[in-house]
Structure 1
């Protein structure tokens, strides 16, 4: 059985389109069609129903899909082991979101440098969507992002950073260290908005209130949000990693709110399937060894 036929089958199912699969695989649409026709001859059944532009798996295709995914994963891992054995690149290109770049990356880069002293490192900071495209185009080797589901990409949970309410040290809530969501209705709220699903959970909590909090400042930069709180302009929900130094110095105080407990920013480490196994293993070892304030998934 031709592995390229199986690859085309898995990608078409994921993207729901022959054309999109062809773009990702860097081949023509007729070539993708030919590969599926060849696979169907080998299996002696149809794997897709084509209704105009809509593509659906047949019952037989649905039965074959998990086996095809497993075959493709095993092949890619084996190929990587053969090609990468004993080969360490001169440069490792890492992508990360802004928060990871600011608060985690200095430690991670130093860890990698100690383990691989002869390697140079290049860091690219961008949005999750941009980093995924750069990874697929092989402009970077690894990336730390929020979340991705893509058959071409392997993803490893790296850390979970709890989001809590922080106030300046002389704020009335600082003495209590505990509040209900209703108590912040009259407060001036600074809101950091990064567009991720994790932050949407806060919006849902606000929407459930009879009187939502007064969001006076809505910003897209963690440092800006933090400095507004330090300047006593308001209070803000922030991830713990971004305020480590200020909490230790006593200039920012965490206030626990039961209604928002469990909301956190989740960061994953990603790479193309079967690639950079040694670097991934090294970084995940560091993740296992990390301690609070972020909560680890590995």
Structure 2
């Protein structure tokens, strides 16, 4: 049996799709994009010569064959966890063969897809676990050595080993039918609700810093955190607005129905970095992340 048929990450994707019957929800749970989920499912269909998913307009439906595999996939993932736990006990030490990766915030979701593709090409036998949180928490875990590496946005202290991936900007966006959709306005004049991410997210930190430095007080805010469904609902029913990074907007579903609001004074730059713990062993990976070819590939997405 070919090794690739037991690619545990792909099986994890299949299991999540079977649980949720949705590429979008599965992608959020795995912290990759819906297109990446779709690509992995199609690759499994090609490898196994089975139809796993049927498209039904804007939704999907897993096939009977996929459902039959779903329970076995869950058992396989559980068996892998138990195997690793037992290996830890037998070794009496941490298993350094598993790379611990952190993904922080919406900025890094697109980058993480590219990173996982590179892993599969360059380190086909490398096992990895992915932890998702906001950038501040991922940075903290890497500093403590609890994670090997991560992708974060925002300010990274000088003592942390980092590679700049790209420079981005945060802008204000609204549903395309919003009364301000074609207007140019000052942020100080906006009375519509403005949705804010959770505390600790780099987007919110940079927005709040910008507001403080420019002595701007938002008249009406909504704390929607990571709940994109609630944000979307408020934007469509209450003419709310939201701050999003431009790169993430271009590479997410937000660009289908949302437009950038022209605010005269809003210019909020933010940088995205690949960070590593001390004595990070995968020098080939670090070299790849700093290469012009990789950065050009990211900016072209």
Shorter-chain TM-score range: 0.5 to 0.7
Q: What is residue 207 of structure 2 aligned with on the other side?
A: 199
Report the TM-score when normalising by structure 1: 0.56
Structure 1: distance between partners of 2:300 and 2:220: 29
1:51-110 Cα offsets, whole Å, 9 max, x none, are: xxxxxxxxxxxxxxxxxxxxxxxxxxxxxxxxxxxxxx7432211213245443223212
CA change 1:139–1:181 in 2 (3 A) is closer
Q: What is residue 236 of structure 2 aligned with on the other side?
A: 231
Structure 2: distance between partners of 1:257 and 1:265: 17
Q: What is residue 288 of structure 2 aligned with on the other side?
A: 282
Structure 2: distance between partners of 1:119 and 1:140: 15
Distance apart, 1:137 and its partner CA:
4.4
Q: What is residue 249 of structure 2 aligned with on the other side?
A: 243
User: What stretches of structure 1 of length at least 5 have no aligned partner?
Assistant: 1-88, 294-298
1:9-31 Cα offsets, whole Å, 9 max, x none, are: xxxxxxxxxxxxxxxxxxxxxxx
Structure 2: distance between partners of 1:115 and 1:225: 39
Q: What is residue 187 of structure 2 aligned with on the other side?
A: 181
1:22-58 Cα offsets, whole Å, 9 max, x none, are: xxxxxxxxxxxxxxxxxxxxxxxxxxxxxxxxxxxxx
CA change 1:230–1:115 in 2 (3 A) is farther
Does structure 2 conserve the Cα–Cα contact (< 8 Å) formed by 1:180 and 1:258? yes
Answering whether residue 261 of structure 2 is matched by residue 255 of structure 1, we say yes
Give the match's secondary structure for 2:299.
Answer: coil
Structure 2: distance between partners of 1:256 and 1:246: 20
Give the match's secondary structure for 2:261.
Answer: strand
Structure 1: distance between partners of 2:230 and 2:249: 11
Q: What is residue 165 of structure 2 aligned with on the other side?
A: 158
CA change 1:222–1:205 in 2 (3 A) is farther
Point out the structure with max Rg over C-alpha. Answer: 1
Q: What is residue 101 of structure 2 aligned with on the other side?
A: 94
Give the match's secondary structure for 1:217.
Answer: strand
Distance apart, 1:114 and its partner CA:
2.3
Distance apart, 1:205 and its partner CA:
6.0
Distance apart, 1:193 and its partner CA:
4.5
Give the match's secondary structure for 2:223.
Answer: strand
1:170 is matched with which residue: 154, 157, 177?
Answer: 177
Report the TM-score when normalising by structure 2: 0.56
Q: What is residue 114 of structure 2 aligned with on the other side?
A: 107
Q: What is residue 270 of structure 2 aligned with on the other side?
A: 265
- Give the RMSD, CA atoms, in angstroms: 2.9
Structure 2: distance between partners of 1:278 and 1:290: 18
CA change 1:229–1:292 in 2 (3 A) is farther
User: What stretches of structure 2 of length at least 5 have no aligned partner?
Assistant: 1-95
